Amino acid sequence: MEPFQVHILAVDRTFYEGPCLSMTIPTSDGEYGILAHHSNMIAAIQPGILRYQIPGEPPHLAAISPGMIKVEKNDVLVLVDSAERPEEIDAARARREAEEAQEILLQKESRQEYRVAQATLARALNRLRVKSRELE
């Protein structure tokens, strides 16, 4: 398999830059698989699990938040609000965040609070999914 160049950038840091053999990323149109020489594209990223394969290493997982991906000339740019490796995720904290968000959803506060709680709950559950896969 031939590598391509990837840049995974979160708001607060460069998550990964370097060669990549394959990538699967959640988008608004479903999961996209990317290999070398993928056609040019731009897509919205949904919260979910990013899978990527670095040459000579086992597949990697990351919990990612919304963002965008651009594929152009064998170069992939991933811009997200946050990206976390399984070992960086505090499962107890993610569970607390999920519980707090569920409580806010039950209280039926303002639309804005409801949307924030939905996003917080989705992020917390995604982080827990990634963390649980690390333990498998």
Q: What is the DSSP letter of 29?
A: T
Spell out the residues 6+ positions from residue 21 whose beta carbon is closer than 8 angstroms to its own: 1, 2, 3, 35, 36, 53, 54, 55
Which candidate, 86, 84, 89, 83, places its Cα nearest to that of 67?
83
Residue 61 pLDDT grade (very low, low, confident, very high; cuts 50, 70, 90): very high
Helix residue ranges per DSSP H, 13-110 = 91-107
Instruction: Check: CB of residue 75 under 8 Å from CB of residue 4.
Output: yes
**Against a cut of 0.85, is the pTM above it?**
no
Superfamily classification of domain 4-84: F0F1 ATP synthase delta/epsilon subunit, N-terminal (2.60.15.10)
Residue 104 pLDDT grade (very low, low, confident, very high; cuts 50, 70, 90): confident
Amino acid 105: pLDDT: 81
Give the count of beta carbons closer than 10 Å to the beta carbon of residue 6: 22
The domains of the chain are located at: 4-84, 88-134
Amino acid 122: pLDDT: 85
